[in-house]
Amino acid sequence: MAGGQLKSETLFELMKQHFETDEGKELCKKIDLIYQINIAPKKIGVDEVSYTIDLKNGNVTKGAYEGKPDATFTFKEDDFVKIALGKMNPQIAFMRGLLKIKGSLSAAQKFTPDIFPKIPVSKL
């Protein structure tokens, strides 16, 4: 984490690039939802950074969504990275209280590790 940059920031950059590929565009068409992700460095509710994953338009931006996202997820940094890398199941994270969800539960169920590009851990 050079210069204090969150690992999640790298994941969001890679996701943005992924959405520009044919595979990424197909994924966006299939899911067609807008998610807001709140990342807390150590403790949920403290110093959170928000990102918007717009799977309607294939965009990833830093900042809260202006409007009402289909679902909002709040994670600690480490738990988000585990889910993004497919090392933790989002449903299990939710049941353990490691993930908070607001909004549509049916939209939330479409939030799976599939929306993340396959990332070599070395890139983080």
Q: Which two tokens stand for residue 4?
A: 């204090």
- Residue for token digits 């590009």? 117
State pLDDT tens for residues 6-38.
688 888 998 999 899 999 999 999 999 999 999
The answer, as to whether pTM is greater than 0.75, is yes
The C-alpha atoms of residue 90 and residue 2 are separated, in whole angstroms, by 27
CB atoms within 10 A of CB 13: 13
The C-alpha atoms of residue 124 and residue 118 are separated, in whole angstroms, by 12
Strand partners, 101: 73
CATH homologous superfamily of 7-109: SCP2 sterol-binding domain (3.30.1050.10)
Asked if 11 contacts 116 with a C-beta cutoff of 8 angstroms, the reply is yes
**Domain boundaries, given as residue ranges, for the chain:** 7-109
State pLDDT tens for residues 104-119.
999 998 888 778 877 6
